[in-house]
Amino acid sequence: MLRSTQIDLVSRLRDLVINKTTTYLDDLWLIPTSHYIDAERARREMDSLFAVEPVIAARSSQLAEPGAYLSVKVMGVPLILVRQDDGSVRAVGNACRHRGTQLVEEGSCGVAKTFQCPYHGWKYASDGRLSRVPHHFESFVPMEKRLWGLVNYPAAERHGFIWVRTSPGDDVLDIGALLGDLDAELEAHDLANWRLAREEVFDEAMNWKTVADGILDPYHPEFVHPETVGPYINNNVYVFDAFTEHAARLVMSKKSIGEADLDELHENPAKYLFPNYVLLPNTFMVFQSRHFEVWTIEPHPTDPQRSLTHIRILTSPGFTDETEHAEYVEQNWALFQKVAYTEDWGVARRAQKGIASGAFTDTIVGRNEAPVHFMHSFIGKRLGDGSDGLRLLGEGPQPSDMKC
């Protein structure tokens, strides 16, 4: 983050703290509870959002050399990511075009010049072209091999992440355009050179938006984290800057920002800031000076009340001592487990259960919940819901008028 941005952020946050105020929406909004439980809604999100928008599939460092491949499943779609000879990355379907057999084991990685199907030996080049069909001449003419390569999915690299779109095509993904000015800010962090220190995927009984609502929420820390991070954060005080409809920055502040004088703040502004970068549809990056905690949340492919959250810890290139690095990662992983897995997801799992109880038809977004509104209105626009998929409190049928 540029120093000028840090100074702007500390000034704005300090003003909010001193004036006992925060960032407010103009209105109150209602989110239908069906958005968190309904299978038809989940299908529409998959078709109109997740099959359309680029999402993060891996780190670039996981494909270090030409021929390096990684088998991943993104939104339920099995893909092989392959580093090409020219240094670019391709995403191809992990499914043989003959009878559909997966070419490589799910979750596997390695280096290969070709992929040979284990069933009848069809062979594909690392760019997905079909190069060999046993008994082609006698058995498959006039099938044209050039038309039977692996299915191509758009892929791109930016800031050390590999992004894919999970519907097939040859389109070019312009991630920089999606990020707007956030692109330069991530560049200033030199994010491409941060190291993937640890990763894990959590399959949890929560709709993906239930998890996302929590990471976008500046209203809860004092209640949910009273003994961990709560005492260090100004609860319910935040600034929220949208760069594009996909990208935003949510920043909270350290408790002491209200007492610090301006010289002190300007000397080390970063010390007072807790930034969280929002990369819609489904990635959130919490920045903590020496590491990023990156959350990429996927809907479960079949159960709207489950989701898969991929947590990645990326550490700063500034580490030189491996032992120190290992201890740092261990400590921060333990902190993630306590603060996020136990505390944040503890209430989020309960929220999902309450929503699923069917006791009411809407939840409510307060004026102090601009980041939550930002995400839900983005989804609503993608799904063509009108009114951003949400309703204003006081407009149309209201919860109190409705029979539940």
353 binds, among Fe ion, ligand FES, none (CB under 5 to 8 A by kind): none
Residue 121 or 231 having the CB closest to ligand FES = 121
In the complex, minimum distance from the CB of residue 48 to ligand FES, in angstroms, rounded to a whole number? 32
Tokens representing 54? Answer: 């680029």
Backbone angles phi, psi at 156, to 5 degrees: -155, 160
Q: Coil, strand or helix: which one is 171?
A: coil
In the complex, minimum distance from the CB of residue 301 to ligand FES, in angstroms, rounded to a whole number? 23
Find the radius of gyration of the CA atoms of the chain: 23
131 part of the interface to ligand FES, by CB under 6 A: no
Kindly write down the DSSP assignment for every residue of 320-357, as one continuous string: --HHHHHHHHHHHHHHHIIIIIIIIHHHHHHHHHHHHT
Choose the stretch contacting ligand FES; rule: CB under 6 A; options: 115-123, 304-312, 346-354, 372-380.
Answer: 115-123
- Strand order of the β-sheet with 123-125 is 114-116, 123-125, 130-132
101 part of the interface to ligand FES, by CB under 6 A: yes
Angstrom distance (rounded) from CA 389 to CA 387: 5
Angstrom distance (rounded) from CA 365 to CA 390: 10
In the complex, minimum distance from the CB of residue 143 to ligand FES, in angstroms, rounded to a whole number? 13
The dihedral formed by the CA atoms of 165, 169, 174 and 180, expressed in degrees to the nearest 10: -50
In the complex, minimum distance from the CB of residue 27 to Fe ion, in angstroms, rounded to a whole number? 25
Backbone angles phi, psi at 118, to 5 degrees: -70, -10
Choose the stretch contacting ligand FES; rule: CB under 6 A; options: 94-102, 177-185, 303-311, 363-371.
Answer: 94-102
The DSSP secondary-structure symbol of 373 reads H
Question: How many residues in the shown chain lie near ligand FES by CB under 6 A?
Answer: 9
Contact residues for 100 (Cβ-Cβ < 8 A; gap 6+): none
Interface with ligand FES (CB under 6 A), residue from 89, 117, 248, 355: 117
150 part of the interface to ligand FES, by CB under 6 A: no
> Considering only residues 31-60, where is the footprint of ligand FES by CB under 6 A?
none
122 binds, among Fe ion, ligand FES, none (CB under 5 to 8 A by kind): ligand FES
CA dist list (Å): 328 to 197, 201, 225, 242, 316: 10, 20, 21, 32, 11
* Number of neighbours of residue 397 by Cβ within 10 angstroms: 11
Interface with ligand FES (CB under 6 A), residue from 9, 37, 75, 96: 96
350 part of the interface to ligand FES, by CB under 6 A: no
117 binds, among ligand FES, Fe ion, none (CB under 5 to 8 A by kind): ligand FES
235 binds, among ligand FES, Fe ion, none (CB under 5 to 8 A by kind): none
In the complex, minimum distance from the CB of residue 139 to ligand FES, in angstroms, rounded to a whole number? 12
98 binds, among ligand FES, Fe ion, none (CB under 5 to 8 A by kind): ligand FES
344 binds, among Fe ion, ligand FES, none (CB under 5 to 8 A by kind): Fe ion
Tokens representing 190? Answer: 């030199």
Residue 133 or 173 having the CB closest to ligand FES = 133
Interface with ligand FES (CB under 6 A), residue from 122, 243, 284, 295: 122
Q: Coil, strand or helix: which one is 109?
A: strand
Question: Where do contacts with ligand FES occur on this chain (CB under 6 A)?
Answer: 96, 98-99, 101, 117, 119-122
